Amino acid sequence: MNIEQSGSTQVADIVKNFDYQLRVSDAKVVGIFSDAAGEGKSFALTQLLPHLCDVYKRKTLVVDLTNKPCEILAKAFGVESKARSETQSLEISTRFKNINYVTNDELLIFSKSSLDNYTKINRFIKKCRDDYDLIIVNTSTLKRSKNTIFPEVSLDAAVLVRSKRSLGKNGVILKEILDRDIDLLGIIYNEGV
């Protein structure tokens, strides 16, 4: 399916299909991936999640594991990075009722244990699992030849975002998802990129 613009019939159709796939697969922790930088992973999330959370009432946590916090997500969701004490929740409320957000940096800084980063992330996700209907893991663009973050993050399923420039190219990340037996909920074609 294609993403064109917010509020479009295509967005509603994609969200309806995504909700159906989530219910059928019973997936709760879903990674968002692409084969190249700039495919529109963050754009897709900003277009789809508000609709999913409003229409289908899914309480959602976005765990942003990008190398630096994603400005597109932070701006679209209306979040600001704030210093928090250890007694406060890591999750930041957004301008959308059913969407909360946490960055990789905040997660790793907040957790002062000596555990490796992936263990900290997985423990956090496991702890939040019962509090949310959906946990979206936004990832940096992954390259099979480099160490990637997603092999060590426990995911129930994945969504692949592609654009015109990646169509017809070798789908390295699709192969990686399938090689690791992660359920693929769908491939979103982002026309806007």
How does pLDDT run across 16-33, given as a tens digit for each residue? 999 999 999 999 999 998
Residue type, 35: D
pLDDT recorded at residue 18: 92
Give the gyration radius of the chain's Cα atoms. 16
Query: What tokens were used for 17?
Result: 């299909």
Parse the chain into domains and list their residue ranges: 2-190
How does pLDDT run across 130-162, given as a tens digit for each residue? 999 999 998 876 554 454 445 578 899 999 888
Mode of pairing for the β-strands spanning 29-34 and 134-138: parallel
pLDDT recorded at residue 2: 46
How does pLDDT run across 154-171, given as a tens digit for each residue? 899 999 888 877 776 666
Per the rule left: phi > 0, alpha: psi between -120 and 50, beta: everything else, 165 is: alpha
How does pLDDT run across 46-70, given as a tens digit for each residue? 888 988 988 899 999 998 887 666 7
pTM for the model: 0.81
Going by the DSSP 8-state scheme, the letter that residue 78 receives in this structure is T
| Alpha-carbon torsion angle 46, 50, 51, 57, nearest 10 | 150
- H/E stretch holding 48 reads helix 41-55
Query: What tokens were used for 74?
Result: 């932070």
How does pLDDT run across 66-114, given as a tens digit for each residue? 766 677 777 777 775 554 444 345 556 666 788 888 887 777 666 666 6
pLDDT recorded at residue 85: 42
CATH architecture assigned to 2-190: 3-Layer(aba) Sandwich (3.40)
Q: How confident is the model at residue 190 (pLDDT cuts 50, 70, 90)?
A: confident
